[in-house]
A and B are shown apart, each in its own frame.
Chain A
Amino acid sequence: MNRKSTATPRGGPETDVQPPRLDAPVPDDGHGPEGTAAERVGPRAAGLPWWANPRVGLVVVIAVLVLGFSSARPAFLDVELTLVPLQRDIAVFAVVGLAQLAALSLGHMNLAVGRMAALAAFSAGLCYDRFGAPLVVGLVVALVVGALVGALAGGIITATGVNSFVVTLALDFGLLGVVALLYDRFAGGVAFSVRPPGLDALRSDTFSDYCAGSVCGPPVPLLVPFALVALLAVGLFFGRTRQGREILMTGSSPRAARASGIPVGRRIVTAHALSGLLAGLAGFMLATANGAFSASIGESFLLPSFLAPVLGGTLLAGGAVSAFGTVLGATLTSVIQKGLNLLQFEADALQIFIGVVLVVALSLDRIRQVLAERRGVRP
């Protein structure tokens, strides 16, 4: 205890204003404070000029890509061929990204995001198959199962103090086995074949299929509102509610959170439960989009789940999130994917492109921040 109590340097003015490097991603090698401060400054950093906001860059890049793709292949603007499936992709991967964002808000990770989605989708499928449940009941069950598994992850992390990376890694392995076993046991190994009424409409309809008189809706898939609701709810939760804000404060500094009366353990459980809930929603949406509740749901979720929030300006360090940026990040990757598809690029070029975009986007981000700081934002 003695050492703890003397950990603050006594005496001498403390004029250094750089935050401590809680995540310490790189052992610092004497590059001074500016590099490290930039790392931790969230998107709400005071006084950063507008062009230092990563979302602005994203919007510009997306706009340029859309222009480029549509001039190279006018089919890119084809509603049925491109825009409707594109919106469906964006909707699913935005929700996947939001699920990861919920864990990132704490500075944690959820490596089991795909498998939580799979388990949730299984639960929904089981309800439809065994109990002939209506569509909405399956959705609610999926959300609840996702939230419970997420809460379990959070509970283990809180109770044991083991790194979230390790816990969710173990959980991922475990769920991988569980999900496959469950499908073996209840669905004969592959997928549930029964579809509740409404599922097909949800899968393939857009609002333009529904008309009041001669006025039809826009060509937006019925799945999109799910993502919009998730976006609004997550944005509101982290931006406006006590719980959400307390989670961000916990991510920013767990010690300060504890010393400020925030129930840190409960907030960790809440954040992971939210992550699981959104993963469950994504699992349900993908199963709906695919038209099948199968064990392969969520297999491809892990990487996009990090891509979307990180591109959107959410830090791994915790304490700052951008729900809207996550949607932009998901949009960017989906646009690249669709565009390159149309240009008949192979899957390999696509992956290279996305990887390079990520490196360049993040590097530019750093450069922007350093430039912004040079212009005297810091006191």
Chain B
Amino acid sequence: MRVRCSQLVKVFPGVRALDGVDLDLRPGTVHALLGENGAGKSTLIKVLTGVHRADGGTVTLGEDGETRTVAFSRPLDAQAAGIGVVHQERNLVPSFSVAENIALQALPRRAGVVDRAAVRDLARRCLAQLDLDLDVDQPVAELSVAHMQLVEIAKALATDSQVLLLDEPTASLTADEADRLYAVVRRLREQGHVVVLVTHKLEEVFAIADVVTVLRDGRSVAGSVPLATLTRGDVVDLMVGRAHTELELSERSVDRAGTPALELRGVSTSVGHRGIDLAVHRGEIVGLYGLVGAGRSELVRALLGLDSVTGGEVLVDGDAVTIRSVGDALRRHRIGYVTENRKEEGVFLTQNLARNVAVTVWDRLARFGLVRDRDEKDLLATYRDRLGIRLSGPDQLAGQLSGGNQQKISLAKWLAADCSVLVVDEPTVGIDVRTKAAFHELIVELADQGLAILLITSDLPEMVTLADRVAVMHERRITGELLNSHHYTSMSAQVIRLVHGESAVDDPPAA
């Protein structure tokens, strides 16, 4: 089945998430869908799977002779049309067997009783189609993540999915497991399915994809181009574009002579980091770059006591310290952490804005042990003005704000606490372009005021724009550190080499 999207548009308040996307999925191909964060991949997949309805453009199914235009209004419609998504383990019932999970959408039955033989047969057929040998009676809960994913693919086949969307399928797989997944993907291609691969990993794309679509700012800058015609460099250029270098920030100078505000010496953690060296000076923005899953956030979480540091030294202003909790980091060492999980950890969605900002400073605001609402509101007003937060009033709930404004609230509580070191984790994910630029200026301004900032981002242009130095992490190790030339082409090339475990030195900075 061929699926063609033409000029898809999806508008959210304040931002055009999709702004004319073309996509042509032909049977028997592996189609890579690439793009930086915020380019619109998520939204495109949601439109294709019936989670969102497109505001413009068409989706047509079928070959030239008999095509039909469709608009899915719910996920089941997309499924019925033969479009299946594979999540990581999300879509399985853990206590059920492999067979039953595969057959769940239409359990074979006889008089209301599950026909277990038919369930097993169906499951075996689907698994055989993938050339997989799994015990169909095993509970899914006992499987590895990799196997769960394969079961999900089999499940999609059980409903006769012709189009399979694999969303970042190898993010948590080992190299061997990934190879097996690729073998399955190739097999599906031979059988005439379309496999859409959403991924950040270029090596993966070049290993198995035939066709590539690159999204940038909600547009398809390369629509269904045969991969054979492109080099890796071309793809990177398409992804990052040139438009992003437009934010010109004044030259900054950082004094790296003194004691670093935060320094890690040979730190290892309970989540697998070994020998991490990293230093952030006052007034400096150090970028920590890497692929999703490289272990950047995990390092910071361990540092702040959300996981544990098992070896090496953590120094704050030159003194070796042990940080047991975020409260510890905040109150004793004045380190703040703007988390990447904005909705789960960054803000309290069901609490009002004043409390969201004041949560870190109630002990300071309290007089005779009592906090006055007025002081909280004053605090919020201060940061509303300073950060440009758009809100209707201090009693508004954080859940009612847009993503960008939520992020500002999440930042404001650490500024209110008067932190001297700020760890900012993926600050602009899912934030529209204008707010993003404002955020960038804000981060630089904070550094200029003397804060030491450790910036974690997967957004390369953002990194090149903001960071003074870039440390690259790959598989829980720092693979290199670069002084940022702010020259996009050369920096991105060097960083991407480091990301893939190559050395950066053979291509000296052009600047």
- Is A214 among interface residues, defined by CB-CB distance under 8 A? no
Residues of B close to A47: CB separation below 8 A:
392-393, 395-396
- Is A73 among interface residues, defined by CB-CB distance under 8 A? no
B429 to A8, Cβ gap below 8 A? yes
Residues of B close to A211: CB separation below 8 A:
none
**Bound: A3/B172 CA distance, A:** 6
- Is A241 among interface residues, defined by CB-CB distance under 8 A? yes
A259 to B337, Cβ gap below 8 A? yes
Given contacts A1-B271, A11-B41, A261-B326, contact A256 B346 (CB under 8 A): yes
In the complex, given contacts A45-B397, A258-B326, what are 12 additional A-B residue pairs having Cβ atoms less than 8 angstroms apart? A5-B297, A6-B292, A14-B343, A19-B350, A19-B399, A44-B352, A259-B346, A261-B326, A262-B359, A320-B350, A378-B400, A379-B402
Query: A43 → chain B, closest Cβ, in Å?
Result: 11
Closest to B346 in A: A256
- Is A255 among interface residues, defined by CB-CB distance under 8 A? yes
Which of A26-75 touch B at CB < 8 Å? 30, 37, 40-42, 44-47
- Is A240 among interface residues, defined by CB-CB distance under 8 A? yes
B350 to A40, Cβ gap below 8 A? yes
- In the complex, per-residue mask of B431-473: 1 if CB is within 8 Å of any chain A CB, else 0: 1100000000000000000000000001000000000000000
B145 to A3, Cβ gap below 8 A? yes
Q: Which among A20, A30, A241, A245 has the greatest number of chain B C-beta atoms within 10 A? A: A245
Partner of A12, one of B41, B329, B342, B352: B41
User: Nearest 4 CB-CB pairs, A to B?
Assistant: A12-B42, A242-B362, A261-B327, A19-B349
**Bound: A359/B328 CA distance, A:** 45
Q: Which among B271, B272, B349 has the greatest number of chain A C-beta atoms within 10 A? A: B349
- In the complex, per-residue mask of A244-284: 1 if CB is within 8 Å of any chain B CB, else 0: 01101100110111111111000000000000000000000
Residues of B close to A263: CB separation below 8 A:
325, 327
A42 to B350, Cβ gap below 8 A? yes
Residues of B close to A161: CB separation below 8 A:
none
Residues of B close to A312: CB separation below 8 A:
none
Query: A8 → chain B, closest Cβ, in Å?
Result: 5
Partner of A319, one of B272, B306, B351: B351
A14 to B403, Cβ gap below 8 A? yes
Given contacts A5-B293, A10-B37, A46-B393, contact A256 B350 (CB under 8 A): no
- In the complex, per-residue mask of B398-410: 1 if CB is within 8 Å of any chain A CB, else 0: 0111110000000
- Is B35 among interface residues, defined by CB-CB distance under 8 A? yes
Partner of A2, one of B293, B352, B431: B293
Given contacts A241-B369, A242-B363, contact A11 B352 (CB under 8 A): no
Residues of B close to A319: CB separation below 8 A:
348, 350-351
A256 to B344, Cβ gap below 8 A? yes
- Is B171 among interface residues, defined by CB-CB distance under 8 A? yes
B349 to A5, Cβ gap below 8 A? no
Give the secondary structure class of A's interface: loop
Q: Which among B340, B352, B399, B403 has the greatest number of chain A C-beta atoms within 10 A? A: B399
A17 to B355, Cβ gap below 8 A? no
**Bound: A57/B298 CA distance, A:** 49
A/B interface sample: 22 pairs, CB < 8 A: A1-B298, A5-B298, A10-B292, A12-B42, A12-B43, A13-B430, A17-B402, A46-B392, A240-B372, A241-B366, A246-B359, A249-B351, A253-B344, A253-B348, A253-B349, A257-B348, A258-B345, A259-B306, A259-B341, A261-B331, A378-B400, A379-B13
- Is B427 among interface residues, defined by CB-CB distance under 8 A? no
Query: A263 → chain B, closest Cβ, in Å?
Result: 6
- Is B1 among interface residues, defined by CB-CB distance under 8 A? no
Residues of A close to B359: CB separation below 8 A:
245-246, 249, 260, 262
Q: Which among A11, A41, A259, A319 has the greatest number of chain B C-beta atoms within 10 A? A: A11
Q: Which among A15, A37, A40, A44 has the greatest number of chain B C-beta atoms within 10 A? A: A15
A5 to B393, Cβ gap below 8 A? no
A261 to B325, Cβ gap below 8 A? yes
- Is A188 among interface residues, defined by CB-CB distance under 8 A? no
Given contacts A5-B297, A6-B292, A11-B39, contact A18 B12 (CB under 8 A): no
- In the complex, per-residue mask of A220-246: 1 if CB is within 8 Å of any chain B CB, else 0: 000000000000000010001110011
Query: B460 → chain A, closest Cβ, in Å?
Result: 13
- In the complex, per-residue mask of B277-304: 1 if CB is within 8 Å of any chain A CB, else 0: 0000000000000001101011000000
- Is B504 among interface residues, defined by CB-CB distance under 8 A? no
**Bound: A258/B426 CA distance, A:** 19
Closest to B52 in A: A12
Q: Which among A12, A42, A259 has the greatest number of chain B C-beta atoms within 10 A? A: A12
Query: B91 → chain A, closest Cβ, in Å?
Result: 14
- Is B371 among interface residues, defined by CB-CB distance under 8 A? yes
Residues of B close to A258: CB separation below 8 A:
306, 325-326, 345
**Bound: A241/B371 CA distance, A:** 6
Residues of B close to A13: CB separation below 8 A:
12, 14-15, 17, 38, 43, 403, 430-432
**Bound: A379/B341 CA distance, A:** 22
**Bound: A202/B156 CA distance, A:** 72
A245 to B400, Cβ gap below 8 A? no
**Bound: A46/B377 CA distance, A:** 14
Query: B229 → chain A, closest Cβ, in Å?
Result: 25
- Interface range on chain B: under 10, 10 to 19, 20 to 34, or 35 or more? 35 or more
- Interface range on chain A: under 10, 10 to 19, 20 to 34, or 35 or more? 35 or more
Residues of A close to B14: CB separation below 8 A:
13, 15
Query: B217 → chain A, closest Cβ, in Å?
Result: 11
B350 to A41, Cβ gap below 8 A? yes
**Bound: A15/B329 CA distance, A:** 32
**Bound: A19/B342 CA distance, A:** 12
- Is A7 among interface residues, defined by CB-CB distance under 8 A? yes
Give the secondary structure class of B's interface: loop
Closest to B369 in A: A241
Closest to A248 in B: B351
- Is B339 among interface residues, defined by CB-CB distance under 8 A? yes
**Bound: A262/B298 CA distance, A:** 20
Partner of A245, one of B13, B42, B171, B355: B355
- In the complex, per-residue mask of B169-212: 1 if CB is within 8 Å of any chain A CB, else 0: 00110000000000000000000000000000000000000000
Closest to B328 in A: A261
Closest to B168 in A: A6
A11 to B350, Cβ gap below 8 A? no
B343 to A20, Cβ gap below 8 A? yes
**Bound: A17/B347 CA distance, A:** 12
Residues of B close to A41: CB separation below 8 A:
350, 397
- Is B88 among interface residues, defined by CB-CB distance under 8 A? yes
**Bound: A320/B346 CA distance, A:** 19
**Bound: A212/B337 CA distance, A:** 62
A5 to B351, Cβ gap below 8 A? no
Which of B350-386 touch A at CB < 8 Å? 350-352, 355, 359-360, 362-363, 366, 369-372
B292 to A5, Cβ gap below 8 A? yes
Query: A79 → chain B, closest Cβ, in Å?
Result: 37
- Is A25 among interface residues, defined by CB-CB distance under 8 A? no
A12 to B40, Cβ gap below 8 A? yes
Partner of A252, one of B41, B172, B351: B351
Query: A229 → chain B, closest Cβ, in Å?
Result: 16
A30 to B74, Cβ gap below 8 A? yes
**Bound: A320/B348 CA distance, A:** 12
- Is B46 among interface residues, defined by CB-CB distance under 8 A? yes
Query: A96 → chain B, closest Cβ, in Å?
Result: 26
Partner of B352, one of A37, A46, A378: A46
Given contacts A3-B171, A12-B40, A47-B392, contact A260 B413 (CB under 8 A): yes
Residues of A close to B329: CB separation below 8 A:
261
Residues of A close to B298: CB separation below 8 A:
1, 5
**Bound: A261/B330 CA distance, A:** 7
**Bound: A46/B36 CA distance, A:** 36
Residues of A close to B429: CB separation below 8 A:
8, 10-11
**Bound: A261/B410 CA distance, A:** 13
Residues of A close to B399: CB separation below 8 A:
17-19, 37, 40
B400 to A259, Cβ gap below 8 A? no
- Is A9 among interface residues, defined by CB-CB distance under 8 A? yes
Query: A246 → chain B, closest Cβ, in Å?
Result: 7
